């Protein structure tokens, strides 16, 4: 450590120009090595002089990024089947409106319950054995505004994500074409698997429409 001495004439001059009280003895200043580690990152100013908060500087030295939530990208997969039904379009339309009769002709639907206080809502249960596994799902669906004798469509509100529509095209006075489309949501990474399963699902829907056509003729 070295010491630098300042004579009285310098002190008096500084006291007049910088308003430093007149001192009667020399002032000694210690010259210490400069250290960057002593300087905080965010100084605070107090009464014209710089003062520092060690707690702020310690916290500001380490910036920890927030964790991002992992989100799975989802995609809709469509299955469509079309079939001629030997009943007038109005008969087919009204028969399909009876949601609680679905278990009679759709093989994988085990039950449908229409809510009494909200008839546009219905609870669905799916139960099916495929590839040696029992598959069970349930969901709440809302029937959207239909187009009489032309279109019925729906969308799930909770449970298994799905949506779909059935369209009716008159072919003559006593027959019509029924086109059923069911869409379900799967993770994008499973899209190749869903594509492989599409023929199997389409065969289930086609089997359901065959039973639908047979029962519609008995109404």
Domain contains 19: yes
Number of domains in the chain: 2
Domain that residue 85 falls in = 75-216
Domain contains 193: yes
Residues 6+ apart with CB under 8 A from 40: 52, 53, 54, 56, 57, 60
Q: What is the pTM of this model?
A: 0.65
- 109 and 204 in a single domain? The answer is yes
Q: For the residues 102-127, what does the mean pLDDT come to? A: 96
Among 61, 86, 104, the domain-final residue is: 61
Query: What are the tens digits of pLDDT across the range 150-206?
Result: 999 999 999 999 999 999 999 989 999 999 999 998 888 877 877 888 899 999 999
pLDDT at 212 exceeding the cut of 90 = yes
- 81 and 31 in a single domain? The answer is no
- 210 and 123 in a single domain? The answer is yes
Measured CA to CA in angstroms, residue 192 lies from 75, 127, 184 at distances of 11, 24, 14
- 114 and 206 in a single domain? The answer is yes
Query: What are the tens digits of pLDDT across the range 43-68?
Result: 444 444 444 444 444 554 555 556 66
| CA atoms lying within 13 Å on the CB side of residue 33 | 3
């Amino acid at each position: 450590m070295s010491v630098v001495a300042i004579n009285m004439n310098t002190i008096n001059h500084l006291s007049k120009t910088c308003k430093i009280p007149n001192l009667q003895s020399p002032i000694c200043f210690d010259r210490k090595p400069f250290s960057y580690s002593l300087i905080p990152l965010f100084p605070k100013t107090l009464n014209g002089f710089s003062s520092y908060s060690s707690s702020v500087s310690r916290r500001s030295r380490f910036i920890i990024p927030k964790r991002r939530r992992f989100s799975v990208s989802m995609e809709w997969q469509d299955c469509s089947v079309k079939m001629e039904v030997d009943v007038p379009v109005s008969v087919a339309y009204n028969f399909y409106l009876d949601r609680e009769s679905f278990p009679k002709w759709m093989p994988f639907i085990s039950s449908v319950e229409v809510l009494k206080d909200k008839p546009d809502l219905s609870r669905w249960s799916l139960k099916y054995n495929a590839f040696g596994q029992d598959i069970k799902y349930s969901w709440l669906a809302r029937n959207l505004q239909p187009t009489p004798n032309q279109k019925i469509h729906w969308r799930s509100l909770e449970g298994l994500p799905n949506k779909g529509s059935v369209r009716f095209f008159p072919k003559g006075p006593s027959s019509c074409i029924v086109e059923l489309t069911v869409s379900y949501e799967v993770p994008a990474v499973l899209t190749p698997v869903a594509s492989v399963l599409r023929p199997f699902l389409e065969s289930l829907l086609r089997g359901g429409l065959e039973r639908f056509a047979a029962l519609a003729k008995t109404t």
